[in-house]
Amino acid sequence: MIKNFLSLGVIQLCNYLTPLIILPLLINRLGIEGYGEYCIFISKLILCDSIIGYGFRVSGPTQLSKINDESKIKYLISEIFIAKSIIFLCISSMLIFLINEYQFILLVLYLFGRIIAFEWVFEGLTQMQIPSILHVINKIFQLIIILIFVKDFQDINKAFIAYTLPFIINGLIILLIIKKKYSFNFKKITINRIFERYKNDFNVFISQLGTNLYTTTNVMIIGMVTNNYNAGIYATAEKIYRLVGSISQLFIKSLYPYLGRIYTENKEIYRKELIKFSYLLIILFIIISALTYFVLPFITNSILGIEKYEQRKIIRLLCLVLLLSLPMFALGGLSTYQLVIQNKSKIIRNIVLLFGFLNIILVYICTIYFGIFGASIVVSLTIFFIGMGTYINSIKNVN
């Protein structure tokens, strides 16, 4: 678990540091409005990626961690790859009519790279060292492209390429490594097994889709209701929030295999351990939230280099609203994984889908009447209630 923790730590450290360099570069070179347009495009990529990913990134590692037979591992990988490819073809055939040709090409290439990037295989085998190295290279490559080619708003298409190209290359490298290291070759999978996979992972898929309804779609809704400038302001605040929140994944993903094993061995010990780690996580992120708020002036002034006082003031206020929900964001992440371990995916689906749809409706309405502050309050409350709901059910359903 320690090696896995350290590998995930490298990924999260890279996730934390590189945006601190990339974010100010994009804001200063594209402008707040250009950054808003950039974030709207990235939101489209992430939303499509989550649909194609279905529930496989959660169920795949869980199932793989319980398999010792090499042949069964190959069948599982092939099954998930084919299932994702079918969704990819369906999504691509629809998107060709909805977005411009340039964005469509980039989106298709990005999604293809994500399909062949089998990071979940390494996660299931608790061998995160290789994806960790590639993830760091990916971020550095993105940074280099931005530094060299993105100079101003006219280069926004190059900023899109800077985001998508490393994922394509990363996917190809991971596919080659899996084929060489594990002598992997695709197995023939019947259509019945594919449909069975869709059926089994449907609840996780719906819950992840619901998650995107209160995360990824917010910037798109704000951009649609108002303009790219407001989308850029909100996206900047949300990016700071997400960067801080991403620290939680270091703990959650490292605890996931450990708690999963305890659950199968002794449920009473599992319940005690889950409660203990939940309390520790809440306390830790209350401290992290407070520290983040106190350093916000330094972040907006020195790191992001935002010159206009009005912009800095709005971003800080938005961050304050969002940071109030950070402990519940971390707790919700931990609890969601535990409900998967407990085979209670339907509960995740119901909670996240309910609040996800409510979030979309309320963000839309509140943005019209109260602007981006109203939207941020809705998002913060959504995260709070989802975190509380998943935690209560993860404890209650241990049996």
For the residues 330-336, what does the mean pLDDT come to?
A: 88
Residue 170 has a pLDDT of 87
Do 18 and 95 sit in the same domain of this protein? yes
Window from 133-142, 143-152, 228-237, 387-396 with minimum mean pLDDT: 133-142
pLDDT computed for residue 223 by the predictor = 92
| Long-range CB contacts for residues 289-294, cutoff 8 Å, separation at least 24 | 289/244, 289/323, 289/324, 289/326, 289/327, 292/240, 292/244, 292/319, 292/323, 292/326, 293/319, 293/320, 293/323
Provide CB contacts within 8 A for 132, sequence distance 6+.
7, 8, 10, 11
* Residue pair 243/19 in contact by the 8 Å Cβ criterion: yes
Express the helix, strand and coil content of the chain in percent, nearest 5 each.
85, 0, 15
User: What confidence score (pLDDT) does residue 339 get?
Assistant: 85
**Among 94-98, 184-188, 242-246, 384-388, which stretch is predicted with the lowest mean pLDDT?**
184-188
CA pair distance 168, 222, nearest whole angstrom: 29
| Confidence check: pLDDT of 4 > 60 | no
How sure is the predictor about 352, in pLDDT bands with cuts at 50, 70 and 90? confident
pLDDT at 137: 83
Q: Are residues 168 and 238 in the same domain?
A: no
Tell me the pLDDT tens digit for each residue of 146-161: 999 999 999 999 999 9
pLDDT at 2 over 70: no
Residues 62-82, mean pLDDT to the nearest whole number: 79
Clarify whether residues 207 and 305 are in a common domain: no
Residue 125 predicted with pLDDT over 80: no
Please give the angle made by the CA atoms of 55, 60 and 62, to the nearest 5 degrees: 110
252 and 387: one domain? Answer: yes
Residues 279 and 161 in one domain: no
- Per the CB < 8 A criterion, the answer to whether 338 and 327 are in contact is no
Per-residue model confidence (pLDDT) at position 5:
54
pLDDT at 81: 87
Question: Which pTM was predicted?
Answer: 0.82
Query: Do 331 and 387 touch, CB atoms closer than 8 A?
Result: yes
Which of 213, 233, 249 is a domain's end point? Answer: 213
Share of the chain above pLDDT 70, in %: 94
| 397: confidence class by pLDDT, cuts 50, 70, 90 | low
Q: What average pLDDT score do residues 270-278 get?
A: 87
Note whether 331 and 368 are same-domain residues. yes
169 and 254 fall within a common domain:
no
The total of structural domains in the chain comes to 2
| pLDDT above 80 for 233 | yes
Residues 109 and 231 both lie in one domain: no
Q: What is the pLDDT of residue 7?
A: 55
Same domain, 207 and 301: no
Name the nearest CA neighbour of 376 among 310, 319, 327: 319
Same domain, 195 and 233: no
8 A C-beta contact, residue 82 and residue 138: no
- Confidence band for 103, pLDDT divided at 50, 70 and 90: confident
Range of the domain at 351: 217-399
pLDDT in tens, 198-226: 888 887 788 778 777 788 889 999 999 99
pLDDT band at 361 (very low <50, low <70, confident <90, very high): very high
For range 54-75, the mean pLDDT? 77
Could you say which of 213, 242, 263 is where a domain stops? 213
Summarize pLDDT for 193-202 with one digit per residue, the tens. Answer: 888 888 888 8
The span from the CA of 101 to the CA of 160, in Å, is: 13
- Check: CB of residue 80 under 8 Å from CB of residue 124: no
* 265 and 323 both lie in a single domain: yes
Pair (186, 227) in one structural domain = no
Instruction: Write down which residue in 185, 213, 241 finishes a domain.
Output: 213
Per-residue pLDDT at 6? 57
C-alpha closest to that of 216 among 242, 254, 183: 242
